């Protein structure tokens, strides 16, 4: 189903070791509105969506895994040279005790991944949920950029933020397509 190219979707560079910034980024890794939750949501919803938009959910769901890989790379690069004391000061002491410097699926507050899968089985409801998920991810990326003083990380975060805009727009187009289809007369 997938072809894996051994490079990130967009380059990830880190200017300085910053466990505090990594802690914020973990929200997009294992948070309810993060990249893993989005990928799983879209790839699950494709089974009950009309065939005209299955490809869209498949494409965006797959791309979300690429975003997850970028976030994991950022977190790793921001923490790989940190001392245990720096991790503790950044609020990652509990993470360090449980996982060392390994990237783990939890949110910025330390709650383990639990996305509460949103899939109603109603194509329009699901697509509106997807639009909301993309908008929440976009705003989270913006808020992380606002907290960051690393222009290199901000470059990659800006890329991810803009991809969320694209995904939201594509889902909006899919909603309109399905609404048109719903309004058509059917002859049996």
The pLDDT tens digits for 59-114 are: 999 999 999 999 999 999 999 999 999 999 999 999 899 888 888 888 777 778 87
Phi, psi of 161 (to 5 degrees): -60, -45
Which class is 19-108+120-179 in CATH?
mainly alpha
What is 78-105 written as a DSSP string? HHTT--HHHHHHTT-HHHHHHHTT---S
Tell me the two tokens of residue 81.
Answer: 């040279």
Please tell me the predicted confidence (pLDDT) of residue 68. 96
Tell me the two tokens of residue 42.
Answer: 């879209």
């Amino acid at each position: 189903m997938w072809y894996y190219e051994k490079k990130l979707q967009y380059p990830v560079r880190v200017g300085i070791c910053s466990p505090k910034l990594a802690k914020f980024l973990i929200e997009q890794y294992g948070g309810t509105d993060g990249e893993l939750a989005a990928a799983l949501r879209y790839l699950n919803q494709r089974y009950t969506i009309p065939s005209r938009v299955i490809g869209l959910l498949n494409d965006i769901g797959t791309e979300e895994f690429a975003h997850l890989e970028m976030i994991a790379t950022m977190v790793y690069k921001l923490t790989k040279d940190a001392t245990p004391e720096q991790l503790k000061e950044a609020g990652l002491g509990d993470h360090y005790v449980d996982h060392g410097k390994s990237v783990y699926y939890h949110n910025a507050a330390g709650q383990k991944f639990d996305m509460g899968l949103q899939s109603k089985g109603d194509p329009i409801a699901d697509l509106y949920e997807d639009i909301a998920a993309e908008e929440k991810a976009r705003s989270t990326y913006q808020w992380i950029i606002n907290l960051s003083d690393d222009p290199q990380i901000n470059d990659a975060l800006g890329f991810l933020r803009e991809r969320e805009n694209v995904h939201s727009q594509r889902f909006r187009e899919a909603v309109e397509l399905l609404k048109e289809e719903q309004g058509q007369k059917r002859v049996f």
